[in-house]
Amino acid sequence: NTEVTKEYAEKENADAIIIAVGSTPLVPPIPGLDGDNVVVVNNYYKEKEKVGDNVVVMGGGLAGCECAVHLGQDGKKVSIIEMRDMLAPDANVRHRPLLLQQIDKYVDVHTGLKAVKVTADGVLCEDKDGNEVMVEGSSVICALGQRSRTDVVNELLDAAPFVRVIGDAAKVSTITNAVYWGYHAALDI
């Protein structure tokens, strides 16, 4: 429960620092995305009570797809909105087919749509031709990606003789890659 700052590392005379500070969610300036009916996917388990029975998940990457399946398995009506034409391209090659089977079972998929505005009734989108499409839902999960915490990384880069940045702090990826990078960083010390 101690934040590692450059000053703290210098005071402790650290020989090595492995920076594993993760990432923060991307929340673009889409009107309504700051509404009471919106939960950022990172906070879903802390704010489950805010999520109603008809949910729109904005973002069809791995996190959005896994959240959508979980919500569907809980008996909720779930829709995913994704700008790309495919879902979960960031999923592991072995995991993705199984995930897509569950998506087919539990989720209504809307690919090729760009979210324009979040309302109390759902998410107003645009298709590739500029046509408006409303995807209805009383609750919205924002799963639009992550951004590395480069501010923390940059502060600590020269705070010890050996510094390694791993996981989402280095490049937003998967837990499998983060564990792999952490293992190899420890071996290199």
Q: 45-79, pLDDT tens digit by residue?
A: 999 999 999 999 999 999 999 999 999 999 999 99
pLDDT confidence bin for 175, thresholds 50/70/90:
confident
Can you tell me the mean pLDDT for 2-31?
96
pLDDT digits (tens, 9 = 90+) for 134-147: 999 999 999 999 99
Residue 85 has pLDDT above 90, yes or no: yes
Q: ∠ CA 18-23-28 to the nearest 5 degrees?
A: 160
Provide the total of helices (H) and of strands (E) in the chain, helices listed first.
5, 12
Give residue 174's pLDDT: 85
Q: Which CATH homologous superfamily contains domain 27-144?
A: FAD/NAD(P)-binding domain (3.50.50.60)
Look up residue 129 and give its amino acid.
D
Give residue 176's pLDDT: 87
Question: What residue spans define the domains of the chain?
Answer: 6-23+147-188, 27-144
Can you tell me the mean pLDDT for 161-188?
95
Q: How far is CA 162 from the centre of its chain?
A: 29
Look up residue 152 and give its amino acid.
V
Entry pTM = 0.90
Distance CA 76, CA 21 (A): 33
| Three-class SS state of 147 | strand
User: Mean pLDDT in the chain?
Assistant: 96
